[in-house]
Amino acid sequence: MITCLLVFMAFATSGVTAIMMEATGQVVAVENGTVSAVVLDCPYSLGPDDLNGLVLKWFFNHSDQPIYTWILDGDIDEPQVSGLPPGTVDTSYKHHEDPRHRHRALRLLAPTPASSGDYTCVVSSHYDEKTHVVPLMVYVLPLKLEFSVEETTSGNITVSCSAEPAYPEPRLQLYVQVDDVREPLKTIADRETVYEDGVYNTSLRVELPLQHLELYGDASLICELHFPHTNVSMQESIDLRPEVEEEVSQADSPALRAVVHLGSTPSAASRQGVVGMSVLGTWIICTLGSLLC
Contacts 24+ apart (CB under 8 A), 248-256: 255/279, 255/284
Interval 224-274: pLDDT, tens: 999 998 999 999 998 877 655 444 444 443 322 333 444 434 344 333 332
Instruction: Show me where the domains of the chain are located.
Output: 18-138, 144-287
Spatial contact of 238 and 288, defined as CB atoms under 8 Å apart = no
- Interior CA angle at 209 toward 218 and 181, to 5°? 35
Interval 82-139: pLDDT, tens: 999 999 999 999 998 888 889 999 999 999 999 999 999 999 888 888 999 999 999 9
Fold: same for 18-138 and 144-287: yes
- In the CATH hierarchy, which top-level class contains the domain 144-287? mainly beta
Fold exhibited by the domain 18-138: Immunoglobulin-like (2.60.40)
Q: pTM of the full predicted structure?
A: 0.74
Peptide bond preceding 254: is omega within 30 degrees of 0, i.e. cis? no
